[in-house]
Structure 1
Amino acid sequence: MKCAFCNVGSRGDLQPLVALALGFQAKGWDVVVISEERNRALAESFSLSFRAIAGDLAGIVFEEEHAEMLVKGRLLKMIQEMRREMERRKKMSWDQALKDWVETTRDVQLIVSGPLTCNETYSLAEKLGVPWVPVMFGPYFPTREFPNPFVMESNWFSWLNLFSFNFFCWAMWQKQSSETNAFRAELGLEPLLCRRGMLSVVEEKELLMIGAFHEIFIPTQRVPADWKSHMLVRNFLFVPKTPEDSLDLEVQEFLAKSEGTGVIYLGLGSMPAPPKDLMELVRKIVQTLEVKAVLCAGWSGVTNSELEEILVVKSCPHDLLFPKCKVILHHAGVGTCAAALRSGVPSVCLPVLMDQFSNANQLAKLGVAPPSIPFRNVPSSHGAVLEAVRFALESVEMMAKAQEMSRRLEESDGTALCVEKILQTYFE
């Protein structure tokens, strides 16, 4: 039996599916990860088979002009430009990508999909006559208990909360329906005439949907009473823990020399971050607060530091490094939030765009982070960042809350539970 795990985007958009793929592989399944070429290295680092589809929609994030817009505070303009460019690139590679989707899934008996490929993968699963399992990375299934954070922030009336989810899905489907139904026509399938796209399909057919997060990541910190039983929330989907001895020797030596001083982490994942601004921020933190720092350069291109108190790395396994730090400064992407929560270490969130702002607010609500500071404000708000880091370093209550959240996440294996539920639902 072969299962395909599909999504596009950055590492954070694919790693939860890699965790599920490894879980299925442990059960004896033949698994394949399907994504854009950019993500081949991630899949193959876990010794998983990989098949590529055309396109590179996430690549635009790494381009210098968009990073410049970000650091100058022109976030709205950056998002508008990125959307236009993504649409242009999508049109260029769309026909080939659809052909690739058909070819790469031809021999599978199950399709598990991230949110960015649901329309295509559902149609493919329907054509093949195989089960389809969508995976959501945040609490975005309709409820009366809180609003969709992409639509509004304040929790108002129950009917308005519910409307915010339905409206968002309706608006998205208006943009996606024509190309989705054109693809379905090529597959010989009837058009989808639903009002809210995949949300309507999941609700009407009561399809199993995986929520790849713990209930503490829900605004109410519990599963809403109006979520149906086919919406499964157990925990974040973590890949197996990295062996301790695989931590880079340079990092080990830096941490050993830093005992008694305290180490903070700064990294923005796949977000564009101008090197000069990152280095200036981390330099002020180590000099003012008398700590040492690991700067995860990621996309930024920073290669080294003149100060011995700062170690620059291209990447580092979060599950090994985070527990060895005193504070974690990050962009509040879902995957990084999950790793920070599991580490038992307080966060300082510097959100950049999209769901990162609501994720950062949730960490603050949990008591494991001070109020967030948008990254676009950082160049003019070093003082605010320093005070947030200082507070996180010194707050006994925040450390206790962080350790409590870590214990809750360690109580269950979300990946194993979700694998078992998928198998019970469709193969027993």
Structure 2
Amino acid sequence: MKRCAFCNVGSRGDLQPLIALALALKAKGTWEVVLISEESGRALAESFALEFRAVAGDSTGIMFEEEYAEMLAKGKLMAMIKESERRKKTWYDQASKDWVETTKDVQMIVSGPFCYNETFCVAEKLGVPWIPLLYGPLYPTRDFPNPFVMESNWFSWLNLLSFNFLYWALWKQQAADVNAFRSQLGLEPLLCSRGLMSVIEEKELLVIGAFHEVFIPTLKVPADWPANFFFKNFPFTPKNSESCSPELQQFLLNNKGNVIYLGLGSMPAPRPRELLELAERIVRTLKVKAILCAGWSNVESSTDLQEDILVIKSCPHDLVFPQCQVILHHAGVGTSAATLRSGVPSVCLPVMLDQFYNAKQLTRLGVAPPSIAFQNVASSPDSVIEALRCCLESPMMAEQAKELCSRLEESDGATQSVEKVLDTYFPS
């Protein structure tokens, strides 16, 4: 039986799309699958009964340190990124060796974005297919700009340049380390201007997009996206009612139709006490109940609100979100996808990176009011209350959320992506 490695590093949101694809491939019955990531991903892999192999590194650990959590709270993202890059250099050599060792028995590699370079190199050395996963509409196009570079949609040539500039800048930073790794593997150096994006375009490699058409800024597929860029939907893991604790099930049952969800996904909250205080203010002002997902901190609600706020470590989004009235979240791509699938409006409190783009897209779609940066929540909690009130009192927003839910239910992103991969590289 052939074996496929699904690879990435980062938080749960960075691994979950790969897990969905791994489960879809495993269900075919003709492939074994393995998830390869840093040690922090082991528990998640094992919760889905997937084989796990570890590589050196701790990419997410910095977010749980008080000093850097405070940087997030104040919006000092560049300083945090700089420190993350410094730390990565301390484990890069060992991680490179681990990528070689953990993939030596596989016949295909599917890779998330944070280990593209390493997984591409080992796939080339092994002579096996390499399939990169894009978590958003980040394939170069003239129709809209790269959201990491600029927001305004100006001229087609400038839009395209915004993508190419970012890939060029990233490759300039990574080229020396990647080519040193290639030399160790006995491979020729990559002499290209934009790293693996140049390779993908030149060789017309299959790229899987882990998103639905509704997440494209223009809400339509760009005409200049090539046929080798395949996407149908967000890849979701199968629903599992057993993953919902009895306590959580009872809370939802007792407060049916009057529950607000509040959480930052797998991210630690900058200043978790502020998130708890926000939940308490919401409950008192709007007369609702709240689920506070706060696994990163042992916080407890006030004694007089213990029956109104359920504090939990984690929850299955696919089971809980549809039973809520509004979902307050950080707008990570995975959580944003789960809210769209739930048919429930959102209030977005983005913290960093693509979360601001994702939040803006939910607003464009008519299922969320304008977002509020988490760093501004403590100084303007009333703005969050008003955003919630907008969701609760808007029949139009509720109807739009249900319509988008129906669209996402029309296709199985994980299964269709796996079938595309197999048809391309292993046709029957």
Displacement of 1:246 in angstroms is 3.9
Aligned equivalent of 1:137, options 132, 135, 140: 135
CA distance in 1, matches of 2:59, 2:300: 26
**Structure 2 residue ranges without an equivalent (≥5):** none
Question: 1:140·1:165 contact (CA, 8 Å) conserved in 2?
Answer: yes
CA distance in 1, matches of 2:43, 2:301: 24
Question: 1:297·1:303 contact (CA, 8 Å) conserved in 2?
Answer: no
CA distance in 2, matches of 1:305, 1:367: 35
Q: Does 1:125 align with 2:123?
A: yes
Q: 1:83 to 1:259 in 2, by over 3 A?
A: closer
CA distance in 1, matches of 2:247, 2:267: 25
Q: Does 1:75 align with 2:75?
A: yes
Question: 1:32·1:49 contact (CA, 8 Å) conserved in 2?
Answer: yes
Q: Does 1:55 align with 2:74?
A: no
- Return structure 1 stretches of 4+ with deviation > 6 angstroms: none
Displacement of 1:271 in angstroms is 2.6
Q: How many residues align?
A: 422
Equivalent AA in structure 1 for residue 203 of structure 2: K
Q: Does 1:259 align with 2:261?
A: no
Displacement of 1:53 in angstroms is 0.2
Equivalent AA in structure 2 for residue 265 of structure 1: Y
Identity of aligned residues (%): 67
Aligned equivalent of 2:84, options 71, 83, 86: 86
Displacement of 1:131 in angstroms is 0.3
> SS at the partner of 1:5?
strand
Question: 2:243·2:316 contact (CA, 8 Å) conserved in 1?
Answer: no
> SS at the partner of 1:312?
strand
> SS at the partner of 1:300?
coil
Q: Aligned runs of 1:338-353 on 2, under 5 Å?
A: 338-353=337-352
Q: Does 1:45 align with 2:42?
A: no
Displacement of 1:304 in angstroms is 4.9
Match of 2:38 in 1: 36
Equivalent AA in structure 1 for residue 215 of structure 2: F
CA distance in 1, matches of 2:295, 2:166: 32
**More moved, 291-300 vs 324-333:** 291-300
Aligned equivalent of 1:206, options 171, 180, 204: 204
Q: Does 1:272 align with 2:265?
A: no
Q: Aligned runs of 1:319-334 on 2, under 5 Å?
A: 319-334=318-333
Q: Does 1:146 align with 2:147?
A: no
Aligned equivalent of 1:296, options 293, 296, 299: 293
Displacement of 1:258 in angstroms is 1.1
> SS at the partner of 1:379?
coil
Q: 1:303 to 1:109 in 2, by over 3 A?
A: farther
Q: Does 1:158 align with 2:160?
A: no
Match of 2:228 in 1: 230
Match of 1:412 in 2: 411
> SS at the partner of 1:172?
helix
CA distance in 2, matches of 1:388, 1:63: 31
1:7-32 deviation digits (Å, cap 9, x = unpaired): 00000001100011111111121111
1:131-171 deviation digits (Å, cap 9, x = unpaired): 00000000000001000011100000111000000001000
TM-score (norm 1): 0.97
Question: 2:280·2:301 contact (CA, 8 Å) conserved in 1?
Answer: no
Match of 1:355 in 2: 354
Q: 1:188 to 1:303 in 2, by over 3 A?
A: farther
**Structure 1 residue ranges without an equivalent (≥5):** none
CA distance in 2, matches of 1:281, 1:158: 42
CA RMSD of superposed structures (Å): 1.0
CA distance in 1, matches of 2:124, 2:178: 13
CA distance in 2, matches of 1:125, 1:68: 39
Question: 1:363·1:369 contact (CA, 8 Å) conserved in 2?
Answer: yes
> SS at the partner of 1:369?
coil
**More moved, 347-356 vs 57-66:** 57-66
Q: Aligned runs of 1:185-224 on 2, under 5 Å?
A: 185-224=183-222
CA distance in 1, matches of 2:283, 2:167: 44
> SS at the partner of 2:218?
coil
Equivalent AA in structure 1 for residue 185 of structure 2: L
Equivalent AA in structure 2 for residue 174 of structure 1: K
Q: 1:303 to 1:103 in 2, by over 3 A?
A: farther
Aligned equivalent of 1:171, options 165, 169, 172: 169
Q: Does 1:6 align with 2:3?
A: no
Displacement of 1:75 in angstroms is 1.0
Match of 1:112 in 2: 110
CA distance in 2, matches of 1:89, 1:304: 36
> SS at the partner of 1:75?
coil
Question: 1:271·1:352 contact (CA, 8 Å) conserved in 2?
Answer: no
CA distance in 2, matches of 1:67, 1:290: 31
Match of 1:335 in 2: 334
Question: 1:258·1:292 contact (CA, 8 Å) conserved in 2?
Answer: yes
> SS at the partner of 1:41?
helix
Match of 1:422 in 2: 421
> SS at the partner of 2:25?
helix
Equivalent AA in structure 1 for residue 268 of structure 2: P
Displacement of 1:303 in angstroms is 4.6
Displacement of 1:379 in angstroms is 0.3
TM-score (norm 2): 0.97
Match of 2:25 in 1: 24
CA distance in 1, matches of 2:134, 2:372: 26
Question: 1:268·1:298 contact (CA, 8 Å) conserved in 2?
Answer: no
Match of 1:312 in 2: 311
> SS at the partner of 2:211?
coil
1:89-137 deviation digits (Å, cap 9, x = unpaired): 2121111111111000000000000011100000111000000000000
